Structure 1
Amino acid sequence: MSGSSAAGFAIRIQKSLSTERFFFCILILAAVLRFAFLDLKLFHHDEAIHAWFSYKLLTTGVYVYDPSFHGPLLYYVTAGMFALLGDADLVGRIVPAFLGTLIVALVYPLYRLGYLDSRQTLVAAFFLAISPNMVYFSRFLRNDIFILFLTFVLLLALILYLERGQARYAMITAAAAGLGLSCKENMPIVLGIFGVYLLYLLWAGKVKLPARWKRDLALGVLVAAGIIVVFYSSFGVHPDRVLTFIPDAIGHWWEMHEQQRLGGPFYFYVLLLLLYELPILVLAIAGTVQFLIAGRKAASAAVRSMHEIVAISLQQIRSVLPAPPSFDKKEEFFRFCIVWMALSIAAYAYIGEKVPWLLIHQLLPLVFVAAYAMTEKKTVIAVVSSVFLVLALWHVAYVPADVNEPIMQVQNSEDMREVMALIDGSNAVAIASDRYWPLPWYYRGDRSANLSYFGKKIDEGSIAAGNYDLVIASDEDSYPALPGYEKRTYNLNYWFSWYDNKDRVLQYYFLRDGKMGNMKIDVFVPERTSA
């Protein structure tokens, strides 16, 4: 092969391995991980409730904000999907999976804007693509993936507004804020962190607001407020909720914070990071240390430079004085991500309600900090250590069984598939218990005709008079026996509790044999008569 041919071949190889092509492959991987076997598992307890409210909104047109179930955006979006594609588990999870994929895609604009280099971009996107928590909660009908996507959109729009000064970016920022506030009550944490850092940038003279910023701010407030009013008033059906949703939300979630209904230690999320996201956590710690060391070296160099300048005669100052240092957007972005990460971890450590899905709000900035100073050696470490993430991801997202993991909180048991098969074969079913979710979701519309929900244990005479093919009761308030029925016990749902496992955390980390809490139901089926 001639020298020119070899050079041409090398150039073609280099082009084929461009950042864009690598990024596209990572994006495809992210999409596959989020959309593959999307209805593999039954709906989680919360998913079933969210889907049910969305179905009721679609079929009856009724929605009223209740802070226990977060903001209205998810319900309107999901109802729209049900209207387009039908009401099903898979359809309910399509938008979360799509938004989870877009979160990976939004890393690319940061690269094009110069805030990440090629290596940082690919590593950050790869971590977001295969992170067990990012994937799991992108396959999950909850508000958090909506909030995370809107957080990223808000960040990019705000950056573009500060760089280009165009009003349209201010409006996108406002729309993202308004939609986020219409989605879940933790959006103010994001706005608070971003707002504080913006004030710092302005105070330090690192950025300047556009000339027409007051006009853009006023228009942005109108856009955000308009979105909030439309959603919380249920598109004008309940205008009174516009005045009450804020005190209701604060009152409810402050009570949950003090009650610590789903509590845990202040380091609860650190344990989850160690359990599922260890490579990202370690690299984020390393990135923070690297950033601080680099900042100290830069400060020392600046002091030495100042001493040298002072030592030179006044006549020579003009000729040797260095030009003011330019604004390093990459370094400032990582400084922001470290602050964002630290304040997010602190905020969620303080909040009394400790639930696994809140981890992803801390994980997004953590991923960017992990990508700081991504040398070739550090890149190799990131890629090799990703095996840990892949194994954890496979276990929690793609195993169709009751998995003993804290990431799954009050997950409906796979036992319920057998229970629902029994219901499908029955003409009349009595549910003599207040434990029955997710049945209202799976038996909605015409399918609910054969089910009678009593909400409590009923007397045996009522069961006999009802001529039921199937009777379901809580195992804690059940019947010792029912004449003519065979008793079977099934898991309804299950969870991993910190309080049940706090004395054996290290053992669980390696053995995954923690104590699971669960609810059980007794199912009474007709006795088989011998021929």
Structure 2
Amino acid sequence: MNHTRPRRIIFATSAPSAAGSSSGDVRAAGTFTEHRLEQTLSEQSPRVRVTVEAVIYVVLGALAILTRFWDLSTRALHHDESLHAYFSWLYAVGQGYVHDPLMHGPTLFHADALAFLLFGDNDYVSRIWPALLGVILVLLPALLRGPNQLGRWGALACSVFLLLSPSMLYYTRYIRHDPFVLVTTLTIVIACLRYMEKPERRWVITVGIMAGLLFATMEVSFIVAFILVTFVLGVVTWQVSRAAFGVVAGAGGGLAAVWLLMPRFGAPPLPSIPWEHPTGDNIRAFAVDLVVHPTFLAAIGVLVLGIVATLSTLERARNAEESGWLAGVLGNQPPGSTGAALLTLLTNRRTLWLAIGLGLTAFVALYTSMFTNMAGLASGTVGALGYWLGQHDVQRAEQPWFYYLVLMAQYEFVAVLLFPIAIGLTIRRIVPAVLFRRPVDSRTYLRGFALYWAFMNLAIYSWAGEKMPWLTVHTVLPLAILAASVVGSAAENVERAVSERQLPTRFIWIPAAGILLLAAGWFALWSWASAGPWVRQGSGALIREMRPIIVDHPWILYLPILAVVALIVWSGARMGPRLAASVLGIAAVGMLLVAQTHVGFRMSYQEGDTPKDMLIYVQTSPDVTRVMSDIGT
């Protein structure tokens, strides 16, 4: 928008001549004035610029709406979905809502009850909110398109990955709390990153409101908060004082040692949480047993010593010339750093308290069912946390520790395969910065946070006793951001080479199209080769064998692989190893996205309530909707 001052338009008439004023002169003056007015308004009006990037986001949004809202009611409601829909319906028809930790937080029930009030009560309406949140989730990465975050290409890639993720697609068409958690968590992360770049009030308020909604949605909010707080604590102490960072790390190691070693030294198990039948008496008894338990006392001792040692170390590192303790500790941090952002946040108390107040208002209003059930404050804090910590020992579903690794490898091809590449690229940048005390650029910072986020999610969810397929999406989210950062960097390398005329455009399309065509050809070749004659075995079973020509010449199946190797060698010779890796890598990601699209389409639209896949193995039967349809007709 043009911010220059508009020219002043003066309406004036000249003195009449002896012959009188001419009407033609007046009309001419009016025409000239209108022309000047139109010209000035044209110069001052904002010009709407339609870019290719904007068009792509519009297309992605349209695809997200189509894929999330299409045919929502055909799939039978899963057991959990039926509970969520039923109690939301009771709330909508005036029978009230009382929070129960068994069904997580109240945000979903308030949202779904509102949907029933607005649009009526049916299976489609019960899933409107997850679908809408799925659309928002796809478009949110646009807020990370800045050069200090993912960049234009990286943000677009992240939106595409979230759009075509099979697990994201399935569970954003599923009435559970997880879509609410995904959107609030990603919004908090985006707001924090944008606040570091430019400390604006709106980002603090956004974090406050989203945090209130997050804690009123699901108990995994404590995991999200733990990851964010520990990351910020680690980064700030590292920036301010390496010694303080060592103390914090030592305290964390001490807490882990207490947890692991106290039982080996004869400490009894921690008291069992009375989650099944909580009463005032057994809760008080549990609290007394916990605070006198040797493991708890040892952990408190390590924690207190760690806090005292950290504060003492920071005091020695404080700049005494600065006024105030916070300014002395954090005042020397460069703009854009975590320490500088934290100092700005803590010193702007009015905005901070406003954000906290808005978050608490949302939390209290939802847990008390709009201030009609004040007991919800107790059940939503101590009750909810106690109930789900108690489920750790129950271990419903009895899944192994590597459950999520197996699950993601079956569906999230791009995120899983780019994960080790992202690890390598991040370590390559961070390790020299740590060893030689160099500043870390903002892109590497974002990648490092996403890496920490993904590792912590994998560790915590794999350790937790209750492992369920829908929890996969919480780890897929940071993995999608990591994958997008890798693809975005590769796309920027190619774009830079083309703009600087280092690389003809045809050298991009030839290997990219070649990879896709060879992959499709290999798939078609195997499909043709495996369609041989049917042979009856001794047991009577019919088995289809390979075609005779393939049995005699099996090397035919590997010709596409040789062609791919030749294409890689040719690309490296023409473009150099780095550019060749970027072009071929992007093409390979495109090929994997096609495979993910096939998997997601089959699971969400064809077999959504048929328990053939691990991701939906707890789903109900399609007979439910068939019977209801027969009853309705």
TM norm structure 1? 0.69
Instruction: Give the residue type in structure 1 aligned to 2:614.
Output: P
Does 2:610 align with 1:402? yes
Instruction: Give the residue type in structure 1 aligned to 2:449.
Output: F
Choose from 170, 188, 206 the match for 1:154. 188
Instruction: Give the residue type in structure 2 aligned to 1:210.
Output: T
Offset of residue 257 of structure 1: 1.3
Tell me which residue corresponds to 1:24: 58
Q: Describe the shift of the 1:156–1:67 C-alpha distance in structure 2 as closer, same or farther (beyond 3 A).
A: same
| Cα distance per residue 1:230-274 (max 9 Å; x no partner) | 111111111122134322112221221111012211110111111
Choose from 120, 128, 143 the match for 1:109. 143
2:409·2:416 contact (CA, 8 Å) conserved in 1?
A: yes
1:123·1:379 contact (CA, 8 Å) conserved in 2?
A: no
- What is the SS of the residue equivalent to 2:397? coil
Tell me which residue corresponds to 1:223: 358
1:266·1:349 contact (CA, 8 Å) conserved in 2?
A: yes
Tell me which residue corresponds to 2:597: 390
2:171·2:179 contact (CA, 8 Å) conserved in 1?
A: yes
2:166·2:412 contact (CA, 8 Å) conserved in 1?
A: yes
| Cα distance per residue 1:98-130 (max 9 Å; x no partner) | 111111111011003630123222222111110
Tell me which residue corresponds to 1:416: 624
Offset of residue 157 of structure 1: 1.9
Does 2:89 align with 1:55? yes
| Cα distance per residue 1:455-493 (max 9 Å; x no partner) | xxxxxxxxxxxxxxxxxxxxxxxxxxxxxxxxxxxxxxx
Relative to its length, the structure with more helix (as a share) is 2
Does 2:442 align with 1:329? yes
1:284·1:367 contact (CA, 8 Å) conserved in 2?
A: no
Tell me which residue corresponds to 1:35: 69
Q: Work out the CA distance in 2 between the residues paired with 1:135 and 1:110.
A: 21
The CA RMSD measured in Å over matched residues stands at: 2.2
Q: Work out the CA distance in 2 between the residues paired with 1:37 and 1:353.
A: 31
Does 2:395 align with 1:260? yes
Tell me which residue corresponds to 1:352: 465
Instruction: Give the residue type in structure 2 aligned to 1:416.
Output: V
1:174·1:221 contact (CA, 8 Å) conserved in 2?
A: yes
Q: Work out the CA distance in 2 between the residues paired with 1:417 and 1:40.
A: 7
Q: Work out the CA distance in 1 between the residues paired with 2:195 and 2:397.
A: 40
Does 2:178 align with 1:144? yes
Tell me which residue corresponds to 1:448: none
Offset of residue 218 of structure 1: 3.0
Offset of residue 226 of structure 1: 1.9
Aligned pairs for 1:16-415 (under 5 A) are 18-112=52-146, 114-203=148-237, 204=239, 205=333, 206-207=337-338, 208=340, 209-210=343-344, 212-296=347-431, 302=436, 328-374=441-487, 375=490, 376-377=582-583, 378-399=585-606, 402-415=610-623
Relative to its length, the structure with more strand (as a share) is 1
Q: Work out the CA distance in 2 between the residues paired with 1:409 and 1:367.
A: 24
1:31·1:101 contact (CA, 8 Å) conserved in 2?
A: yes
2:105·2:216 contact (CA, 8 Å) conserved in 1?
A: yes
Higher Rg:
2
**Equivalent residue pairs, number:** 389
Q: Work out the CA distance in 1 between the residues paired with 2:65 and 2:207.
A: 26
1:30·1:130 contact (CA, 8 Å) conserved in 2?
A: no
Tell me which residue corresponds to 2:310: none
2:415·2:480 contact (CA, 8 Å) conserved in 1?
A: yes
Tell me which residue corresponds to 2:555: none
1:30·1:101 contact (CA, 8 Å) conserved in 2?
A: yes
Q: Describe the shift of the 1:75–1:185 C-alpha distance in structure 2 as closer, same or farther (beyond 3 A).
A: same
Gaps of 5+ in 1: 1-14, 304-324, 426-531
Q: Work out the CA distance in 1 between the residues paired with 2:152 and 2:118.
A: 39
Offset of residue 327 of structure 1: 5.5
Q: Work out the CA distance in 2 between the residues paired with 1:61 and 1:167.
A: 40
2:430·2:444 contact (CA, 8 Å) conserved in 1?
A: no
Q: Work out the CA distance in 2 between the residues paired with 1:200 and 1:298.
A: 15
- What is the SS of the residue equivalent to 1:20? helix
Q: Describe the shift of the 1:122–1:418 C-alpha distance in structure 2 as closer, same or farther (beyond 3 A).
A: closer
Q: Describe the shift of the 1:96–1:337 C-alpha distance in structure 2 as closer, same or farther (beyond 3 A).
A: same
Q: Work out the CA distance in 2 between the residues paired with 1:135 and 1:260.
A: 27
Q: Work out the CA distance in 2 between the residues paired with 1:373 and 1:414.
A: 40
Gaps of 5+ in 2: 1-48, 240-332, 491-581
Q: Describe the shift of the 1:18–1:424 C-alpha distance in structure 2 as closer, same or farther (beyond 3 A).
A: closer
- What is the SS of the residue equivalent to 1:284? helix
Instruction: Give the residue type in structure 2 aligned to 1:395.
Output: R
| Cα distance per residue 1:73-107 (max 9 Å; x no partner) | 10011100111111111111111111111111110
| Cα distance per residue 1:389-440 (max 9 Å; x no partner) | 1121011101056241121143221112343356558xxxxxxxxxxxxxxx
Instruction: Give the residue type in structure 2 aligned to 1:30.
Output: A
